Amino acid sequence: MDKLKQLNDGILPFAKLLGLAFVSATPDKVVAHMDVREDLCTRPAVLHGGAIMAFADTLGAAGTFLNLPEGAGTTTIESKTNFLSSAPVGTRVIGEATPVHKGRRTQVWQTRVTTAEGKLVALVTQTQMVL
């Protein structure tokens, strides 16, 4: 089965809850978008930091998934987020995750979260353990 189709069809159920849609997914780059809904916001009506982190974490996990050997799994063991600007309700955020390191035991991914207009909302670096 096509990996992009697997990602969009629910292999990562939390992605569906967020409303995340994968646009492209290769072993070297994962791109997805998410519409900023009111139920994902804090006050005043901007995307909650936890939603940003969950969005980016899902992309890094997906990237690791695309690089796993047969039968292996993955889990996040570290994540750091720099929040740089806000994304108001009604906008769309785009995440682009690229690998910094793809080792046998760990992978490090960096995700840029931007608005559709290109404004940088957050920069997330995470480490995934290969199980």
pLDDT in single tens digits along all 131 residues of the chain = 588 788 888 778 899 999 999 999 999 999 999 999 999 999 899 999 999 999 999 999 999 999 999 999 999 999 999 999 999 999 999 999 999 999 999 999 999 999 999 999 999 999 999 99
CATH of the domain at 111: 3.10.129.10
Nearest to 18 by CA among 36, 31, 6: 36
Domain around 37 = 3-130
Which neighbouring-strand residues pair with 96? 31, 112
Which neighbouring-strand residues pair with 30? 25, 97
Q: How many domains does the chain contain in total?
A: 1
